[in-house]
Homo-oligomer: A and B are copies of this chain.
Amino acid sequence: MRESMPDKIILSHGDGGALTRELFRSTFQKHLGNPFLSEADDSAILPLGTGQEICFTTDSFVIDPLFFPGGDIGKLSVYGTLNDLWVSGAKPLCLSCGFIIEEGLAMATLEKIVRSMADAASSSGVSIVAGDTKVVPRGKGDKVYINTSGIGILQPERRMDRKAYPGDRVLVSGTLAEHGLVIMALRAGLEPGELVSDCGPVGSAVDNLFASGREVHMMRDPTRGGLATVLKEVAEASACNITLYESEIPLKEEARQLLDLLGLDPLYLPCEGRVVAFAAPGPLPDGWIDIGEVGSGDGTVLLKTRYGGHRRLGFLEGMPLPRIC
């Protein structure tokens, strides 16, 4: 543990940024370390001995509020885990769900959430095959927390190197920052207006990318920590540099206005229905945007600003975004 590591858990340990990474290394990787457990991948890939490989991933959802424009904790918990499987090149096979419910939750609220999970799962052709429910006393939880874990079958033609290479382009599958922005606006008591969370499936965006015939080296979904944190993780893990063009970053007009109002940086806000991909040059697939490039280097991420300047991007740090997913 380096000197700066606090001796108690603080909220930033859960923000997906620098401290989350530090906690992973100092505690989880230290004791649980194995070749499959990685801080930089969305799922583990495991050989079954039959030639087939499965992807396995887990996420807990503690979002506040439970319901928001564009989704709710139920939809989020299903797509959050399915998206991790899709960006790993897998076809989702099934999900589990574990509920931790605070005493006093209205049955109608729980049912609404479960129905929303059912809709998301069935519209993706996936079943929730295992579940568990625990109840904790009032004041020992907050309405409901949901863990989902998912298994997918790795598609051999979608096997990726899981690292970026110099010469790769950086592509995103849609406009950014909307999930985080909607949640932060609600928390600030602001009306997000037309803006809704991007919470949703990335399956068809991933299909489009592979259909374009481009050689895809890596995909991630920029959730906690946002695009900048993912780029920094990939740059470090791949030992290369990444240059991002501010003018190419896709943002909805409504998002720009709210960002200004709240003083938030869209590069660090989570998406819940977008993919960032690192792929060799080629035709741009439907719906994707080219926002930057990978070069040789040592893990630096540079933003080329609209005005010709440069800004170095690090891991999310010091931006208070608790319970955003």
Task: Say yes or no: A128 contacts B11, CB within 8 Å.
Answer: no
Among B106, B128, B136, B139, contact of A34 (Cβ-Cβ < 8 Å) = B128
When C-beta atoms are compared, the residue in chain B nearest to A114 turns out to be B31
Copies of this protein, total: 2
Chain B nearest CB from A290 CB (Å) reads 31
Does any Cβ of B come within 8 Å of A8's Cβ?
yes
Interface core residue of A1, A27, A36, A131 (most chain B CB under 10 Å) = A131
What bracket does the count of chain A residues touching chain B fall in? Answer: 35 or more
Contact, CB under 8 Å: A96 / B136: no
Q: Check A101–B60 contact: CB distance below 8 A.
A: no
Is A10 within 8 A of B135, CB to CB?
yes
The answer to whether A249 has its CB under 8 Å from any CB of chain B is no
Residues of A bordering B, CB below 8 Å: 1, 5-15, 20, 23-24, 27-28, 31-32, 34, 36-37, 43-44, 46, 48, 50-52, 54, 56-62, 93-94, 96-108, 110-111, 114-115, 117-118, 121, 127-137, 139-142, 145, 147, 149, 151, 153, 322-323
Q: Is the interface of A mostly helix, strand, loop or mixed?
A: mixed
In the bound complex, what is the Cα–Cα distance between A145 and B46 (angstroms)? 26
> Which 7 A-B pairs give the minimum distances between C-beta atoms?
A14-B135, A149-B149, A58-B96, A36-B129, A44-B129, A147-B147, A31-B118
